[in-house]
Structure 1
Amino acid sequence: MTRVLIADDHDLLRDVLRSYLEAEGGFSVVTAADLPSALELVAGEEGFDLLLLDYAMPGMNGFDGLAKAIAAVPGTPVALMSGMAPVGVAEKVLACGAAGFLPKTLPARSVVNAIRFMAAGETYMPLDMIRQQPDQGSPDIGLSPREREVLSRLCEGLANKEIARDLGLREPTIKLHVKTICRKLGARNRTHAAMLARERALC
């Protein structure tokens, strides 16, 4: 069972997110209305797999609250969500050591997948936000270390099940990585992604 703490000052959003996750199955959801309440819950309960915090809720003060939450739960993924995307948010969120950023405009299915992804220890950032980051001249800009590991195995022709076994991950997690890699590279499918990667000397 994946335990998620969702902290947001909008009652409806909290209830909707909890309903989506519980309907999906495999999730146990606890909610809070502000950062102090969330930190109290964390201090009083063990074993959260992910903390999902609203960027603008009471007590957050933007990235200061994010840093405070990360310090309060060493080793537990902490992510931000917001109805807006502050300038440079992707870079700042990752620099703080967060698990990712969820725009509240994401479709429900994407939200569920992203939460599952981050709770598994992976990093999530919407593709359009990654594209907004300045290009540092690296041919693999936007690919996380884990995505590079998956891509290298795609280039070797391994199936998702083989990659999952090789990296010690679940097959659905590998599928999400492959989908993200294809979108970042502009590939039609996994075979096309491997071909583009070879052309760009990524593997």
Structure 2
Amino acid sequence: MRVLIADDHDLLRDTLVMFLQSQGGMETASVGTFGEACARIEADAPYDLVLLDYNMPGMNGLNGLRTAIAMGGGQRVALISGEATRQIAEDALEAGAAGFVPKSLPAKSLINAVKFMAMGEQYAPIEFMTAVDDVTSNPLAEKLTARELQVLKGLTEGKSNKEIARDLDVLEPTVKLHVKTLYRKIGAANRTQAAMIAREAGLY
């Protein structure tokens, strides 16, 4: 089984490669931009699955997905994202994607999803596709996704990224990405400041 992973976050990409290769019988290649992914699709032997990060350089969202699907005789292409909405996931599936994989997915589930898609099936986590957005009147909470709120709660409790990852059953690099994103969204420079902002807003 041959899989190409295209994601601009080095740590997350390398972790995905490590997890997939540890399964045995799985050959992986990885790149950091959409342009590099296209070059590999054209030059390499056919892949069973191409996994594209929705927000990486050159991707241009669903246009990149459609371009990749049309290349190399129409190989199977799936999206992976830490921030994409359910609507984007639905549009991707409608455009012919092999699936949609949130970066918040537990490692075991992610590996199973990749195998599932590479074997010809279409995948999207039911809990993500059917989730009902929480109705909240807190202005700060409205800026963050449900997973970012969980990570922020861990920060207010003084937990490390490793501890938060264990609590949420996700990879540590995934937590680091969420921390970086929520810093930007709430205007925090570090963990202490993020915790203070959350407490002042009455979140935790």
Percent identity over the alignment is 49
1:129 Cα shift?
2.9
Instruction: Determine if contact 1:90/1:129 at 8 Å carries over to the other structure.
Output: no
Q: Which one has more relative contact order, counting CA pairs under 8 Å at least 6 apart?
A: 2
Letter paired with 1:72: M
Gaps of 5+ in 1: 134-203
Alignment partners' CA distance in 1, 2:90 and 2:41? 26
Alignment partners' CA distance in 2, 1:65 and 1:75? 13
Letter paired with 1:92: D
Alignment partners' CA distance in 2, 1:106 and 1:130? 13
Q: Structure 1, residues 64-111: CA drift from partner, whole Å, max 9, x if none?
A: 111111111334110000001325123201111000100001010000
1:27 aligned onto 2:26:
yes
Decide whether aligned partners of structure 1 residues 50 and 101 sit closer, same or farther in structure 2, where only a CA change above 3 A counts: same
Match for residue 52 of structure 1? 51
Alignment partners' CA distance in 2, 1:75 and 1:8? 20
Letter paired with 1:46: A
- TM-score by length of structure 2 reads 0.62
The residue matched to 2:73 in structure 1 has which SS? coil
Match for residue 73 of structure 1? 72
Alignment partners' CA distance in 1, 2:40 and 2:114? 19
Letter paired with 1:57: M
Letter paired with 1:90: A
Match for residue 83 of structure 1? 82
Instruction: Determine if contact 1:3/1:27 at 8 Å carries over to the other structure.
Output: yes
The number of residues matched between the two structures is: 132
Alignment partners' CA distance in 1, 2:27 and 2:85? 30
1:47 Cα shift?
1.9
The residue matched to 2:22 in structure 1 has which SS? helix
Instruction: Determine if contact 2:52/2:80 at 8 Å carries over to the other structure.
Output: yes
Match for residue 125 of structure 1? 124
Match for residue 184 of structure 2? none
Alignment partners' CA distance in 2, 1:66 and 1:26? 26
- TM-score by length of structure 1 reads 0.62
- TM-align CA RMSD: 1.4
Match for residue 8 of structure 1? 7
Letter paired with 2:14: D
Alignment partners' CA distance in 2, 1:124 and 1:74? 21
Alignment partners' CA distance in 2, 1:74 and 1:84? 29
Instruction: Determine if contact 2:86/2:128 at 8 Å carries over to the other structure.
Output: no
Instruction: Determine if contact 2:34/2:64 at 8 Å carries over to the other structure.
Output: yes
